Chain A
Amino acid sequence: MAYSDKVIDHYENPRNVGSFDKDEDGVGTGVVGAPACGDVMKLQIKINEEGVIEDAKFKTYGCGSAIASSSLVTEWVKGKTVDEALAIKNSDIAEALALPPVKIHCSVLAEDAIKAAVSDYKAKLGVADDGYEIRKSAA
Chain B
Amino acid sequence: MKLPVYLDYSATTPVDPRVAEKMIPFLTENFGNPASRSHTFGWTAEQAVENAREEVAKLVNADPREIVWTSGATESDNLAIKGAAEFYQTKGRHLITVKTEHKAVLDTMRELESSGFEVTYLEPMANGLLDLDAFRAAIRPDTVLASVMQVNNEIGVIQDIAAIGRICREHGVIFHVDAAQATGKVEIDLEQLPVDLMSFSAHKTYGPKGIGALYVRRKPRIRLKAQMHGGGHERGLRSGTLATHQIVGMGEAFRIAREEMAAENERIRRLRDRLLAGLADMEEVFINGDLEQRVPHNLNISFNYVEGESLMMAIKDLAVSSGSACTSASLEPSYVLRALGRSDELAHSSIRFTLGRYTTAEDVDFAISLIKDKVARLREISPLWEMYKDGIDLNTVQWAAAH
Contact = CB atoms under 8 A, between A and B. Distances in A.
A40 B383 contact: yes
B400 A64 contact: no
Contacts of A39: 307, 326, 402
A105 B385 CA distance: 22
Contacts of B399: 33-36, 40, 138
B343 interface: yes
A1 B381 CA distance: 22
B383 A61 contact: yes
Contact of B307 (A14, A17, A62, A112): A62
B306 interface: yes
A3 interface: yes
Interface stretch (B25-33, B255-263, B327-335): B327-335
A83 to B, nearest CB: 22
B383 A42 contact: yes
B353 to A, nearest CB: 20
Nearest to A35: B345
Given A109-B402, A109-B403, A59 B310 contact: no
A111 B45 CA distance: 65
Given A61-B307, A64-B310, A139-B400, A38 B331 contact: yes
**Which applies to chain A's interface (DSSP): helix, strand, loop or mixed?**
mixed
Interface residues of B, number: 32
B331 A33 contact: no
B305 interface: yes
A32 interface: yes
Interface string A97-113: 00000100100110010
Given A3-B313, A67-B310, A138-B399, A35 B344 contact: yes
A135 interface: yes
B113 to A, nearest CB: 29
Interface in B367-386: 380-386
Contact of B327 (A11, A19, A102): A102
Contacts of B344: 35-38
A31 to B, nearest CB: 7
A63 interface: yes
A63 B2 CA distance: 27
A114 B401 CA distance: 16
A86 to B, nearest CB: 17
Nearest to A62: B307
Interface of A: 1, 3, 11, 14, 17, 19, 31-42, 58-64, 66-67, 102, 105, 108-109, 112, 116, 134-135, 137-139
Given A33-B400, A36-B345, A102-B329, 19 more contacts: A11-B310, A31-B383, A33-B399, A36-B344, A37-B331, A37-B344, A38-B308, A38-B324, A38-B326, A59-B382, A61-B307, A63-B326, A63-B327, A64-B310, A66-B310, A105-B402, A105-B403, A108-B403, A134-B400
Interface of B: 305-310, 313, 324, 326-329, 331, 333, 343-345, 348, 380-386, 394, 398-403
